[in-house]
Amino acid sequence: MKEWVKAPRLPICLMAGVLTIVSFKLVNRTHEAFLPALAVFAIACATMVQNDWRDRFHDINKGKTLALRQPLRFQLFLYAAWISAVAVCLMLFQVDYRQGAICALMMVSGLLYSEARRIPMLPLITVAVTSASPVLLAMFGQENKASQITLFVLIFGTILGREIIKDLMDREIDFGYKWTLPVVVGNYFSKAVVINLAVLFMIPGVLFLGSPISVPLIFAACFFLAWKRQYLIARTAIDIAIVCALITTLI
CATH code for the domain in which residue 183 is found: 1.20.120
Check residue 240 and give its pLDDT.
93
User: Is 64's pLDDT higher than 80?
Assistant: yes
CA distance 2 to 153: 35
Examine the domain organization and report whether 7 and 103 are in the same domain: yes
Q: Answer yes or no: is 133 within a domain.
A: no
197 and 86 in a common domain: no
The pLDDT tens digits for 146-170 are 888 899 999 999 999 999 999 998 8
The domain of 149 spans 144-251
Residue from 168, 245, 159 nearest 210 by CA: 245
For residues 82 and 146, give the distance between their C-alpha atoms in angstroms, rounded to a whole number: 33
Residue 131 lies in a domain: no
Please report the pLDDT score of residue 159 as a whole number: 94
pTM: 0.91
Are 95 and 155 members of one domain?
A: no
pLDDT at 229 over 80: no
Same domain? For 242 and 199 the reply is: yes
Domain count for the chain, please give it: 2
User: Is 51 a domain residue?
Assistant: yes
Whether residue 111 lies inside any domain: the answer is yes
138 is a domain residue: no
pLDDT at 184: 87
CB atoms within 10 A of CB 101: 13
- CA distances 209 to 148, 191, 204, Å, are 12, 25, 9
Residue type, 235: R
